[in-house]
């Protein structure tokens, strides 16, 4: 994989600066060596991450598997602490040395977990880029944003300083930062949250990555800005043919934008399907509970929520069997055995002995209703 | 009296010495806590630390008289320097000095009787600690002829000659220069007729001098440049000498360093013949020492010989009176001196029903060490001792407050009547004395106004016996600091012994030379 | 050296994280806290050695030795580390000196903690003119060359343990106060402060029950790091003829009198310096470890 | 600015903007002005405190100068000559009046103008402090970076040991040891004395190396410890570090370009606070190396109760402390963009 | 202002006097520039008026920085607002002395967003819940202990298990329960919940929201419920207030407002919510509101929303719209509210929006109030 590329994005400066973005065919600018169509760009298999902290083992990720096709968007959703961030950082080799990682992660045919720190370093930002949750903290407060982007550009291209700066301005325009030339010379704190997140995206795009991981990229923003950013991401993804992993705990957000969804619980994938398939027919009780707990506009004032009792499990002392068992109303003794994560319905994977729903598109009641 | 040829071969501790050589530079270190501080400048009349700046004064002004001694420190005598001769009247009430002819200050003006008179009058009017305590008669200073000047006293004053080397009247500054420069500038760059002239003077830090080409003594001084440098203690000074940044250090008193230096082949150590022994002053005015038994207990509990052996490696003598081996009128034994006797001490303490003493001193290495040792010894006799060392001001405060009990001090001088003499510690009505005894006052007064040396000796011996009989103050170690010099440096007082004037020896800088 | 504020890295996160608290595996936690226990053990050792050692080893008195036994080399009979020029047992002086040095360090830091902490907390919490007044006064103290102040105070009052503590407190109080103030300013914005106010909690309760326990860890950690500095400054005072008066020992004045003849009697400096080193190291390690734990790293 | 004086000169700038408001519009300038104004009460406080503290010290210059042998009459006379018989408050205001007009008075002991004494001695101390400061800082940065690169690694442990050692050795002992090694044994550097800059840069520097090392080494240790801790914090806790790593920036570059930049602010604060201590260190060190600086002068002045000189020295030291903190604030303002633009 | 007065007769509140009456609240914060030099002023809350009745929940929504928290803190007088009137149970808190304020605060408690930050990390759960009882000198030690147990039971925490724990031994949801227990300890009339569930996981959030509802029903509590999740606010509120840049854009009954928003900003907010229908599983793709929120230090003239408003006219820049009741109990501060059809609006002169250069992403003509993005 050539991580250094001199070619920029197609000359689109003129159009971009006017803000009109012409959608292009996905992957047009991709080198021919890219994974052939149909072959997944990223295959995560039985990924496990364990931390040792204070002498105790924290099983942050416990056998996570999914695939990602080039140019598509995958959403990973789950509660706080379910291992979303850890699993995605594991892909990028950004975990602290205390983390023990096992399983396999194949990116474009290469096993990422076997790479040296040096190889990983050239991969980071070049082939895989990442955008983080809190744009206020994720940018270096003492560096001009232009410099931060330029730095990323120079790491992944042969451009000289001037060229890299020009490229950085281009990127700022690409992410539709108003008055890009002026902003280039500003510091992060002079920008609003939404603008900062755009800068983060511009940095991520600097290496023309084939995979962009957006770790709760919009959680810190309010709804209107969130919509702006998501729109931008989707558009860039389609135009540039990037694959995107979008991490969120907002089911609605995932449903609105992603092609595929992985639902995580206690470090495991518990349900995995194309968005349409999944929401048409939720099978996993946990996903079902999530759906029942989100407020909806069409509910009456003062109506109650479906309540799932209990707390997320302690990752250093996971319950035996299905981790959701203690909170699940469908649970039986069978759940003391770990349900396998398999493709029960076509394209629809889940791990449950007692799934809800019957494939009719309407899920039957589980637990208390209203 | 008369002039000295000066160039007498001075044998230091470093073996045979060749002929003096001309030229070279010398850096002399002085302890910042004593001689290394001259905050008020170097005008002899106004230098309030003049008593400790004798070295600088000699180098700049030369001196009317100088104390000299044989190389081993014996046969000490005051000799004329800029003074050609002197004459004391029979009754001891007048003293006439004849100056050498042709001496010029470095500004070219003559050092004559008028100049001397002007200097003396200024000196006596000012508050220098080195101001002489002359019993001067009205109009006591008279210029007889351009080179002769006489002093008249109200009483016989035989100590007049001995008082010169330690006091500011010995240093004659150019009155013309003083007038031209003004006092404030003069004290920074004083003009004298000494062997060296001032190049630069940073008060209490560095004094740079260079050879005075018109010095009245032919061929002197030997050195081209002489620098006095203030330094913060014996250890840095010793190291500086080792490193070769300086060639001499006056006033080393840290015993371990002294011993180390003695073992160092590159170093000459000259321990000066002591003139002032340590004395434990007891305040006889208040309890507990208004009781002679308490005082005797202290005498009996004190074993200075042990201290000398233990702390000072037996380097010094132990006195029984206020004179020391280097000074005048020294006698090793004082009749009836109450010697160390622990059992007697214990007995006395028991008799008294216990004894509690507060023993003070001025903060300095040797004094504190002696006090610590004394505390131990006294405690052995059952005396309860707290020791306390204070800065100078604290000591003064204690004395003037009158509430002190015991105080470790030094007593005496080369001549007991001159300088910080014995009267200072033992006369009635003096704030720094703990004794109120008319008989002793009388003895001391008589001694100081007697011309005949043998008679004086006898009177002082009587005074010492009186002190011992009344247990006024046990005497001890006759301590004197040592001078340190790098190999190849020679000079009277530096590598030969001369009894210290006040604390340090009066080095005669004209005659200091370096092997090239 | 002066006491300066450490990095303002500090958070409210508790000593142990959630999961750790639940797990409570004794042995494992013990091992994880080795970083704390080793220096704590070193400190305990120093304390025991200094405060009980002289009795346990039935050492001779640290003062009042016979001058006839002065300057004995190490391992002489009865004097493991030899004697000093006054004939006192060096080991005994070392241990007794540790008592005074540790007392001073403790007292100075405690004074700083209590007085400085209270002043700073008050200043930060009350704000307004009280804050301005306190901070201006402290600014003056900070701008004032502390050595001069200490020298002056020590000279004015004379050398003694109490006066040394008093003089050194001028170093520590402003530093603690500033630290406490900045911590309180940060805490003041925490919702729990507003919540307490809503709950009708009285100002004194706010100060002592809400703020104090939260700033205490940071101040204590800071104090740990300051222990060594205080011992050394006490030595500097001794160097200048103040500090603990002779013949009573302290590490500071042992070093200070030892250095007077350093080249001839190096061991007089080496022993107290070593003791100081071990103590400073232990307190620094402990302080840093506690800081790391309390800041939830 | 001249525009207001001569109205006929065409004013190109917006006439409504007065020069003053233009001045105050710059946050940095406003900061300077504000801090300078704040310095006034601090300096006043310092002078009052000095006067008060000095008045507590027993004895005065007259007594001290004349020594234990002086008669009370002599002392009283000298006191009168020196003006020490006046009440403290009067003396303070006399002094203040002079100081405000730039006249720091004359030494009680030598009668030299204090300004003259200071001008002779300030360069020595300034150079000493400057060198100590620069050396400690210049060394601390790379060592801290090395240590922070692998926390718990070999370099980290070595630097930890060295710095603990440095923090537990008294600086006067260190000074003597340095002389023993470098001047006495090796003979590389002079043991004492000051060579003015005019006598050659190298000669001057040679003499300053050991004293500035004696002052600078403990500081170096302190800075190293501090910076290392802060760097590790930044590396482990700050999200922008992760961002940089995610960009593909190498670990050294992250440490130097990103973390260090942010850690430098904490370091600057410490340095500013420490400058006072730095100067305090000169008192003892100048004594040992026989350097004719302010510290040496201060100690002597305290001993002779030359309070006019002490007062001046204290004012100088305090001024340096205040200015140092002003500089720190300015450095923040210049280096930290969050402050520079005044919108935090 | 007057609009509110006029409205009071009529709708469901009837002639009841409000529990809380806020009028023309203004809160500003000076911002510090470099090194503590005074900079500008943040207009955090500008002229906001509203009422809350007993047993009623008023929801407040708005984007971040719009002044929701400041409004909440102004109500409880921590800190006191700059000007305006806060009348609580007939007492004017703005003029109340220490004593009166303390008395009123008994009836007025707050639950904060940050479940850990609002509990002193060094206290035990029992002490935390007991704090208001101690602060207001209620009962003796043993009666307070009993009350604490009751309260913990009420919020669903087993006292025997949790009373001795410290906050860090609790999960976020449990912390929030403790905070709620503390808030209801004095049986207040009003609870101000500032994003009280925003930081919680969905499943836990549902638990806590249900707890709020249960308490409301059982204790007849009123809530000032602040959140940025419009759907959630709707589900818990009787009435909803929409804030934009320190001002009320719209206030009205929850149902009505969501069915027919009157303010273009409310409409944009509703369109920005990504959502999936829990029943059908159908996703709704949000539509973004263009532009960046202006700075509260220097808010736009006239209508503060005009810089991002697709309907903005010259008038919007010149004249600040007042809250006007356009539907029963439903007020809006807009010159051209959405119940006026686009066609009825005056023709738009060029440059009327006076907006900074719009985000280029929005080049399409403002034909629709909320343009649909085609991808
Ligand atoms: N460096 C680490 N050391 C120890 N444990 C860690 C570390 N990083 C993460 N964990 C633990 O791993 C688990 C999974 O964390 P992760 O950040 O992946 O959750 P998440 O799903 O991203 O949650 P959120 O929605 O809160 O971001 C958590 O319990 C967390 O405490
Ligand atoms: N103490 C303060 N000092 C200065 N400015 C403040 C202060 N408190 C709030 N502000 C400012 O006032 C404005 C309103 O803040 P507020 O916290 O009320 O908004 P919010 O609607 O609660 O936002 P969020 O949804 O982020 O909680 C913001 O611009 C904020 O920066
Ligand atoms: Mg996460
Ligand atoms: Mg808020
Ligand atoms: Ni305004």
What atom in ligand 1 is closest to the CA of residue A58? 5
For ligand 2, say whether the CB of E247 is within 6 Å of any of its atoms: no
Q: Name the neighbours of E, counting chains with at least 3 Cβ pairs within 8 A.
A: A, C, D
Three-state SS sequence of D109-167? CCCCEHHHHHHHHHHHHHHHHHHHHHHHHHHHHHHHHHHHHCCCCHHHHHHHHHHHHHH
Chain C residues with CB-CB distance to A60 below 8 A: none
Beta-carbon contacts of D157 under 8 Å, excluding residues fewer than 6 positions away, are none
> How far is the centre of ligand 2, averaged over its atoms, from the C-alpha of E207 (Å)?
28
- State chain C's mean pLDDT as an integer: 78
- B424 contacts D69? CB cut-off 8 A: yes
Of C68, C85, C245, the CB nearest to B255: C85
Ligand 2 binding pocket includes E40 (Cβ within 6 Å): no
Q: Say if CB A124 and CB A208 are below 8 A apart.
A: no
Do A29 and A48 belong together in one domain? yes
pLDDT at residue E332, as a whole number: 94
Q: Tell me the C-alpha distance between B360 and B399, whole Å.
A: 11
Residue A367, pLDDT above cutoff 60: no
The reply to whether A97 falls in a domain is: yes
Closest ligand to E28 CA? 2
Neighbours of D7 (CB within 10 A): 8
**What CA–CA distances, in Å, run from B139 to B147, B154, B169, B171?**
18, 11, 16, 21
Rounded Cα distance, B129 and D67, in Å: 7
What would you report as the CA-atom Rg of chain D, rounded to the nearest whole angstrom?
A: 25
Residue B491 makes CB contacts below 8 A (sequence gap 6+) with B10, B485, B507, B508, B509, B511, B512, B513
pLDDT of residue B285: 87
Using CA coordinates, name the residue in chain C closest to B303: C67
CA nearest neighbour of D183 among D158, D203, D209, D161: D209
- E62: which DSSP letter? E
What pLDDT shows up at residue D20? 52
pLDDT of E37: 53
Report the DSSP beta bridge partners of residue B248. B28, B485
D 290-329 near C (Cβ less than 8 A)? 298-299, 302, 310, 313-314, 317-318, 321-322
Q: Is A190 in the same domain as A283?
A: no
Q: Cβ of C144 and D169 within 8 Å?
A: no
Q: Which residue stretches of chain B have pLDDT < 50?
A: 1-15
Per residue in C172-213, pLDDT (tens digit) is: 888 899 889 888 888 888 888 888 888 888 888 888 888 888
pLDDT tens across D35-56, in order? 788 888 888 888 888 888 888 7
The phi and psi torsions of A95 (rounded to 5 degrees) equal: -80, 150
Measure CB to CB from residue E231 to each of A19, A281, A296 and give the nearest one. Answer: A296
When pLDDT is cut at 50, 70 and 90, the band that residue D82 belongs to is: confident
Ligand 2 atom closest to the CA of E226, numbered from 1 = 22
Q: Is the shortest distance between the CB of E29 and ligand 2 below 6 Å?
A: yes
Query: In 3D, which of C59, C56, C39, C13 has the Cα closest to residue C292?
Result: C13
The minimum-distance atom of ligand 1 relative to the CA of A264 is: 21
Confidence at residue E143, expressed as pLDDT on a 0 to 100 scale: 93
pLDDT given at position E22 = 93
E59: confidence class by pLDDT, cuts 50, 70, 90:
very high
Pairing of strands B267-271, B317-318: unpaired
Let me know if residue D225 belongs to a domain: yes
Domain-located, residue A6:
no
Which atom from ligand 2 is nearest to the alpha carbon of E72?
18
Residues in chain E: 375
Which domain does A62 fall in, by range? 25-127+209-297+304-312
Contact E34 D343 (CB under 8 A): no
CA atoms within 13 A on the CB side of A191: 30
- Taking an 8 Å cut-off on Cβ atoms, the answer to whether A129 and D246 are in contact is yes
Number of Cβ atoms within 10 Å of the Cβ of A155: 23
DSSP class of residue D184 equals I
Question: What's the pLDDT band for E1 if we cut at 50, 70, 90?
Answer: very low
Residue D229: give the domain boundaries.
118-303
Same domain, A233 and A199: no
Number of domains in chain A: 2
- Starting at the earlier edge strand, list the strands of the sheet with B136-145: B83-88, B94-99, B148-153, B136-145
The answer to which of A304-308, B105-109, C98-102 has the lowest mean pLDDT is A304-308
Find the ligand nearest to E295 CA: 2
Question: Which residues are paired to E253 by β-bridges?
Answer: E239
Residue E44 Cβ contacting ligand 2 at under 6 Å:
yes
Q: Which chain A residues are within 8 Å of E275, Cβ to Cβ?
A: 252, 255-256, 294, 296-297
List the subunits that have 3+ CB pairs under 8 angstroms with D: A, B, C, E
Residue D277 has pLDDT above 80, yes or no: no
Residue D3: pLDDT over 60: no
Chain A residue with CA closest to E216: the answer is A302
Q: What pLDDT is recorded for position D33?
A: 80
- CA A145/CA A139 separation, integer angstroms: 8
Relative to beta strand B248-252, strand B383-390 is unpaired
Q: What is the pLDDT of residue B393?
A: 66
E18 and E53 Cβ atoms separated by less than 8 Å: yes
Q: Say which CATH superfamily domain C80-295 falls into.
A: MetI-like (1.10.3720.10)
Q: What is the pLDDT of residues D29-38, one digit of tens each?
A: 777 787 788 8
Is residue A283 a part of any domain in this protein? yes
Cβ atoms of E164 and E185 closer than 8 Å: no
The answer, for C63 touching chain B at a CB cutoff of 8 Å, is yes
Nearest CA to ligand 2 atom 24: E64
Round to whole Å and give the CA distance between E224 and D27.
Answer: 40
Number of other CB atoms surrounding residue D92 within 10 Å:
18
Give the per-residue pLDDT at E38. Answer: 58
| pLDDT > 90? residue E35 | no
CB contact under 8 A, E234 and A304: no
Contacts of E36 in chain D (CB under 8 A): 31, 34
Rounded CA-CA distance A348/A329 in Å is: 22
Judging contacts by C-beta atoms under 8 Å, the chain A residues touching residue D343 are 189-190
Of B472-476, B482-486, D21-25, E149-153, the range with the lowest mean pLDDT is D21-25
Interface contact A132-D239, CB threshold 8 A: yes
Regarding the beta carbon of E73 and ligand 2, being less than 6 Å apart is answered no
Please choose, from the candidates A269, A229, A228, A322, the residue with its C-alpha nearest in 3D space to the C-alpha of residue A74: A269
- Across the interface, whether the CB atoms of A58 and C17 are under 8 A apart is answered no
What is the distance in angstroms between the Cα of E81 and the nearest Cα belonging to chain A?
Answer: 26
| Per-residue model confidence as pLDDT tens digits over A46-86 | 999 998 877 778 899 998 999 999 989 999 998 888 899 99
**Confidence category of residue C295, pLDDT binned at 50, 70, 90:** low
What ipTM did this prediction achieve? Answer: 0.80
State the CATH number of the domain containing residue A118.
Answer: 3.40.50.300
Taking CA atoms only, the protein residue closest to ligand 2 atom 30 is E65
Ligand 1 pocket residues where CB is under 6 Å:
A 51, 53, 58, 60, 78, 80-86, 96, 98, 249, 315
Chain-chain contact of D261 with A138 (C-beta, under 8 angstroms): no
| pLDDT value of residue E127 | 93
C69 chain-B contacts, CB cut-off 8 A? 310
Contact: C210, E119; criterion CB under 8 Å: no
3-state secondary structure of A327: helix
Provide the CATH number for the domain around residue D290.
1.10.3720.10
How far is residue B182's CA from residue D296's CA, in Å, rounded to a whole number? 27
Answer whether A189 sits within 8 Å of D247, measured CB to CB.
no
Angle, vertex CA B433, rays to CA B427 and CA B434, nearest 5: 105
Q: What is the mean pLDDT of residues E138-150?
A: 91
Mutate to test the interface with C, among B238, B241, B308, B369 (most CBs of C within 10 A): B369
Nearest to D62 by CA among D261, D271, D305: D305
Q: Are residues A113 and A226 in the same domain?
A: yes
**E306, E317 contact by CB (below 8 A):** yes
Yes or no: is domain E20-332 CATH 3.90.550.10? no
Q: Is the pLDDT of residue E138 over 80?
A: yes
| First-to-final CA distance of chain B | 34
The answer to whether residues A290 and A220 belong to one domain is: yes
Q: Where exactly are the structural domains of chain E?
A: 20-332
Q: Which long-range contacts (CB under 8 A, 24 or more apart) does C136-141 make?
A: C136/D41, C136/D42, C136/D45, C137/D45, C138/C173, C138/C174, C138/C177, C138/C178, C139/D38, C139/D42, C139/D45, C140/D42, C140/D45, C140/D46, C140/D49, C141/C170, C141/C173, C141/C174, C141/D49
What was the pLDDT predicted at B191? 92
Residues of D whose CB is below 8 A from E30: none
The answer to whether C186 touches C125, Cβ cutoff 8 Å, is no
Whether A189 maps to a domain, the answer reads yes
The answer to whether the Cβ–Cβ distance between D173 and C263 falls below 8 Å is no
- Give the residue, out of E25, E42, E269, with the most ligand 2 atoms within 8 A of its beta carbon, to mutate for a pocket test: E42
Domain count across chain D: 1
> Is D314 a residue whose pLDDT tops 90?
no
Question: Would residue A321 count as lying in a domain?
Answer: no
Instruction: Please tell me whether residues A176 and A108 are part of one structural domain.
Output: no
- Say if the Cβ atoms of E132 and C194 lie within 8 Å: no
- The DSSP annotation for A233-272 comes to HHHHHHHHT-EEEEEES-HHHHHHH-SEEEEEETTEEEEE
Does A83 share its domain with A224? Answer: yes
Kindly report, residue by residue over D170-191, the tens digit of the pLDDT: 788 888 888 888 888 888 888 8
User: Does an H or E element contain A46, and which?
Assistant: strand A42-53
* Helix A223-240 and helix E264-272, axial crossing angle in degrees, nearest 10: 50
Q: Do chains B and E touch (3 or more CB pairs under 8 A)?
A: no
A18-32, C105-119, D119-133: segment of lowest average pLDDT: A18-32
Instruction: Supply the pLDDT for residue A129.
Output: 92
Specify the DSSP class assigned to residue D68: T
Query: Is the pLDDT reported for residue A326 higher than 80?
Result: yes
Q: Are residues A35 and A116 in the same domain?
A: yes
User: Measured between CA atoms, how close is E172 to chain C, in angstroms?
Assistant: 10
Question: Looking at residue D7, what is its pLDDT?
Answer: 37
Residues E277 and A296: beta-carbon distance below 8 Å: yes
Nearest chain B Cα distance for residue D87, angstroms: 20
Residue C22 with chain A: CB contacts under 8 Å: 314, 317
Q: Is residue A58 part of a domain?
A: yes
């Amino acid at each position: 994989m050539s991580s250094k590329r001199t070619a920029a994005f197609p000359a689109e400066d003129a159009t971009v600066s006017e803000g009109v973005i012409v959608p292009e065919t996905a992957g047009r600018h991709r080198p021919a060596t890219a994974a052939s169509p149909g072959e997944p760009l990223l295959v995560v298999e039985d990924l496990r991450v364990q931390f040792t902290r204070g002498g105790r083992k924290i099983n942050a990720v416990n056998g996570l598997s999914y695939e990602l096709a080039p140019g598509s968007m995958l959403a990973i959703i789950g509660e706080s602490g379910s291992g979303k961030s850890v699993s995605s950082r594991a892909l990028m080799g950004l975990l602290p040395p205390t983390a023990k990682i096992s399983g396999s992660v194949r990116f474009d045919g290469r096993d990422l977990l076997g790479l040296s720190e040096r190889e990983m370093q050239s991969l980071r930002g070049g082939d895989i880029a990442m955008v983080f949750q809190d744009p206020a903290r994720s940018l270096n407060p003492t560096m001009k944003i232009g410099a931060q982007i330029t730095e990323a550009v120079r790491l992944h291209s042969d451009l000289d300083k001037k060229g890299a700066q020009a490229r950085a301005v281009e990127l700022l325009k690409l992410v539709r930062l108003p008055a890009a030339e002026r902003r280039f010379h500003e510091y992060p704190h002079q920008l609003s949250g939404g603008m900062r997140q755009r800068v983060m995206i511009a940095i991520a795009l600097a290496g023309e990555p084939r995979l962009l991981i957006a770790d709760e990229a919009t959680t810190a923003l309010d709804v209107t800005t969130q919509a702006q950013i998501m729109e931008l991401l989707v558009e860039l993804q389609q135009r540039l043919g990037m694959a995107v992993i979008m991490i969120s705990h907002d089911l609605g957000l995932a449903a609105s934008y992603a092609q595929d969804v992985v639902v995580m619980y206690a470090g495991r994938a518990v349900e995995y399907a194309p968005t349409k398939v999944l929401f048409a027919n939720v099978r996993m009780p946990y996903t079902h509970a999530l759906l029942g707990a989100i407020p909806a506009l069409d509910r009456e004032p003062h109506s109650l929520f479906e309540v799932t009792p209990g707390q997320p499990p302690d990752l250093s002392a996971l319950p035996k069997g299905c981790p959701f068992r203690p909170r699940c109303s469908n649970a039986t003794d069978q759940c003391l055995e770990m349900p396998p994560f398999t493709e029960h319905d076509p394209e629809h994977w889940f791990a449950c002995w007692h799934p809800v729903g019957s494939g009719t598109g309407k899920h039957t009641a589980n637990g208390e209703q209203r | 009296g008369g002039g000295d040829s000066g160039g007498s071969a001075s044998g230091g501790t470093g073996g045979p010495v060749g002929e003096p050589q001309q030229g070279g530079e010398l850096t002399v270190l002085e302890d910042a806590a004593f001689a290394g501080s001259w905050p008020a400048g170097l005008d002899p009349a106004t230098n309030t630390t003049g008593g400790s700046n004798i070295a600088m004064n000699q180098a700049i002004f030369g001196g009317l008289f100088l104390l000299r001694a044989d190389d081993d420190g014996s046969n000490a005598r005051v000799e004329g320097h800029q003074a050609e001769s002197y004459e004391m009247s029979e009754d001891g009430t007048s003293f006439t000095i004849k100056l050498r002819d042709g001496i010029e200050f470095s500004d070219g003006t003559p050092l004559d009787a008028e100049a001397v008179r002007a200097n003396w009058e200024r000196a006596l009017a000012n508050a220098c600690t080195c101001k002489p305590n002359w019993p001067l008669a009205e109009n006591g200073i008279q210029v007889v002829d351009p080179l002769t000047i006489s002093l008249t006293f109200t009483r016989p004053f035989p100590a007049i000659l001995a008082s010169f080397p330690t006091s500011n009247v010995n240093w004659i500054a150019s009155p013309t220069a003083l007038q031209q420069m003004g006092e404030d500038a003069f004290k920074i760059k004083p003009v004298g007729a000494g062997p060296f002239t001032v190049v630069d003077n940073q008060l209490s830090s560095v004094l740079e001098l260079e050879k005075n080409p018109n010095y009245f003594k032919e061929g002197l001084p030997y050195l081209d440049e002489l620098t006095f440098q203030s330094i913060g203690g014996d250890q840095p000074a010793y190291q500086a000498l080792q490193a070769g940044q300086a060639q001499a250090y006056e006033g080393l008193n840290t015993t371990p360093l002294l011993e180390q230096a003695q073992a160092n082949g590159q170093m000459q150590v000259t321990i000066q013949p002591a003139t002032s022994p340590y004395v434990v002053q007891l305040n006889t005015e208040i309890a507990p020492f208004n009781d002679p038994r308490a005082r005797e207990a202290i005498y009996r509990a004190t074993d200075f010989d042990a201290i000398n052996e233990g702390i000072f490696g037996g380097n010094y003598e132990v006195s029984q009176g206020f004179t020391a081996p280097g000074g005048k009128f020294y006698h090793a034994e004082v009749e009836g001196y109450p010697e160390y006797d622990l059992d007697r001490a214990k007995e006395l303490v028991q008799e008294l029903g216990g004894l509690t003493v507060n023993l003070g001193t001025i903060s300095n290495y040797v004094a504190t060490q002696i006090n610590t040792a004394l505390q131990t010894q006294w405690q052995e006799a059952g005396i309860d001792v707290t020791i306390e060392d204070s800065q100078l001001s604290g000591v003064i405060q204690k004395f003037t407050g009158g509430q002190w009990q015991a105080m470790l001090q030094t007593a005496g001088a080369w001549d007991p009547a001159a300088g910080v003499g014995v009267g200072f510690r033992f006369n009635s009505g003096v704030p720094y004395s703990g004794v109120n005894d008319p008989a002793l006052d009388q003895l001391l007064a008589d001694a100081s106004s007697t011309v005949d040396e043998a008679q004086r000796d006898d009177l002082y011996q009587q005074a010492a016996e009186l002190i011992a009989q009344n247990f006024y103050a046990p005497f001890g170690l006759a301590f004197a600091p040592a001078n340190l010099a790098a190999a190849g440096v020679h000079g009277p007082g530096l590598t030969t012994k001369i009894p210290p004037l006040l604390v340090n020896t009066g080095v005669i800088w004209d005659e200091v030379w370096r092997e090239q | 050296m002066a006491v300066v504020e450490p990095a303002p890295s500090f958070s409210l996160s508790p000593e142990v994280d959630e999961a750790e608290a639940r797990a409570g595996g004794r042995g494992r936690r013990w091992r994880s806290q080795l970083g704390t226990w080793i220096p704590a053990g070193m400190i305990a050792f120093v304390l025991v050695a200094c405060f009980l050692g002289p009795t346990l080893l039935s050492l001779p008195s640290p003062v009042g030795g016979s001058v006839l036994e002065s300057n004995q080399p190490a391992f002489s009979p009865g004097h493991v580390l030899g004697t000093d020029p006054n004939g006192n047992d060096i080991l005994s002086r070392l241990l007794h000196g540790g008592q005074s040095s540790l007392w001073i360090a403790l007292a100075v830091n405690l004074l700083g903690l209590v007085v400085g902490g209270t002043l700073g907390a008050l200043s930060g919490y009350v704000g307004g003119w009280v804050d301005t007044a306190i901070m201006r006064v402290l600014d003056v103290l900070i701008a004032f060359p502390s050595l001069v102040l200490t020298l002056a105070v020590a000279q004015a009052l004379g050398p003694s343990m109490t006066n040394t503590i008093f003089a050194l407190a001028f170093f520590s109080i402003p530093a603690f106060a500033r630290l406490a103030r900045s911590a309180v300013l940060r805490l003041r914005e925490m919702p729990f402060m507003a919540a307490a106010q809503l709950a009708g909690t009285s100002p004194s309760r706010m100060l002592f029950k809400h703020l104090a326990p939260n700033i205490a860890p940071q101040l204590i950690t800071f104090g740990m790091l300051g222990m060594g500095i205080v011992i050394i400054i006490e030595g500097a005072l001794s160097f200048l003829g103040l500090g603990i008066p002779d013949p009573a020992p302290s590490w500071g004045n042992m070093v200070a009198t030892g250095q007077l003849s350093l080249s001839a009697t190096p061991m007089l400096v080496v022993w107290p310096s070593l003791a100081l080193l071990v103590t400073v190291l232990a307190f620094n390690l402990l302080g840093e470890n506690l800081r790391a734990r309390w800041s939830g790293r | 600015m001249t525009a207001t004086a001569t109205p006929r000169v065409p004013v190109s700038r917006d006439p409504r903007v007065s020069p003053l408001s233009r001045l105050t519009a710059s946050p940095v300038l406003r900061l300077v002005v504000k801090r300078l104004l704040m310095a006034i009460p601090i300096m006043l406080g310092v002078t009052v405190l000095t006067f008060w503290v000095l008045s507590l010290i027993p004895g005065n210059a007259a007594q001290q100068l004349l020594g234990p042998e002086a008669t009370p009459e002599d002392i009283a006379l000298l006191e009168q000559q020196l003006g020490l018989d006046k009440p403290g408050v009067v003396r303070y205001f006399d002094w203040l009046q002079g100081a405000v007009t730039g006249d720091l008075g004359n030494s009680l002991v030598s009668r030299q103008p204090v300004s003259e004494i200071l001008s002779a001695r300030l360069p020595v101390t300034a150079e000493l402090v400057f060198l100590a400061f620069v050396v400690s800082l210049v060394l601390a940065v790379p060592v801290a970076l090395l240590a922070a690169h692998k926390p718990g690694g070999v370099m980290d442990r070595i630097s930890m040991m060295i710095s603990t050692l440095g923090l537990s050795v008294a600086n006067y002992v260190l000074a003597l040891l340095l002389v023993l090694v470098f001047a006495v044994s090796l003979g590389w550097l002079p043991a004492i004395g000051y060579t003015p800059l005019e006598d050659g840069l190298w000669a001057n520097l040679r003499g300053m190396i050991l004293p500035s090392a004696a002052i600078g080494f403990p500081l170096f240790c302190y800075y190293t410890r501090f910076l290392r801790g802060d760097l590790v914090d930044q590396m482990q806790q700050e999200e922008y570090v992760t961002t940089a790593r995610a960009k593909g920036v190498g670990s050294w570059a992250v440490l130097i370009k990103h973390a260090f930049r942010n850690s430098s602010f904490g370091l600057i604060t410490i340095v500013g606070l420490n400058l006072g201590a730095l100067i305090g260190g000169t008192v003892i060190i100048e004594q040992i190396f026989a350097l004719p600086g302010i510290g040496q002068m201060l100690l002597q002045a305290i001993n002779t109760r030359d309070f006019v000189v002490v007062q001046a020295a204290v004012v100088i030291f305090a001024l340096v402390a205040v200015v140092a903190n002003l500089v720190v604030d300015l450095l923040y303002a210049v280096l930290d963009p969050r402050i520079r633009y005044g919108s935090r | 202002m007057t609009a509110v007065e006029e409205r009071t007769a009529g709708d469901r509140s009837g002639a009841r006097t409000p529990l809380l009456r806020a009028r023309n609240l203004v809160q500003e914060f000076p911002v510090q520039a470099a090194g503590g030099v005074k900079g500008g002023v943040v207009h955090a809350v500008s002229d906001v008026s509203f009422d809350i009745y007993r047993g009623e929940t008023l929801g407040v929504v708005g984007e971040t920085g719009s002044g929701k928290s400041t409004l909440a803190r102004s109500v409880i007088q921590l800190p006191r607002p700059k000007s305006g009137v806060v009348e609580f149970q007939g007492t004017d808190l703005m003029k109340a002395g220490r004593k009166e304020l303390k008395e009123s605060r008994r009836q007025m408690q707050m639950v904060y967003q940050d479940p850990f930050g609002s509990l002193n990390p060094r206290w035990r759960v029992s002490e935390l819940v007991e704090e208001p009882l101690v602060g207001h000198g209620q009962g003796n030690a043993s009666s307070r202990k009993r009350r604490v147990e009751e309260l913990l039971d009420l919020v669903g925490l087993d006292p025997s298990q949790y009373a001795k724990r410290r906050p860090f031994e609790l999960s976020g949801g449990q912390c929030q329960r403790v905070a709620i227990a503390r808030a209801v300890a004095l049986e207040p009339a009003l609870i101000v919940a500032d994003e009280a569930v925003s930081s919680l996981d969905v499943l836990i959030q549902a638990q806590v929201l249900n707890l709020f509802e249960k308490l409301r029903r059982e204790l007849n509590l009123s809530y000032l419920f602040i959140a940025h999740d419009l759907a959630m606010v709707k589900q818990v509120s009787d009435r909803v207030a929409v804030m934009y840049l320190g001002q009320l854009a719209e206030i009205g009954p929850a149902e009505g407002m969501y069915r027919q928003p009157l303010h273009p900003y409310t409409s944009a907010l509703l369109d920005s919510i990504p959502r999936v229908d829990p029943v059908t599983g159908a996703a709704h793709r949000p539509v973004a509101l263009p532009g960046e929120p202006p700075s509260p230090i220097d808010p736009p003239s006239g209508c503060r929303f005009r810089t991002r408003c697709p309907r903005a006219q010259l008038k919007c820049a010149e004249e600040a719209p007042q809250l006007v009741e356009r539907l029963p109990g439903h007020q809006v501060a807009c010159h051209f509210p959405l119940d006026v059809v686009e066609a009825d609006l005056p023709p738009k002169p060029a440059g009327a929006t006076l907006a900074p250069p719009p985000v280029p992403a929005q080049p399409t003509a403002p034909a629709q109030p909320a343009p649909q993005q085609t991808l």
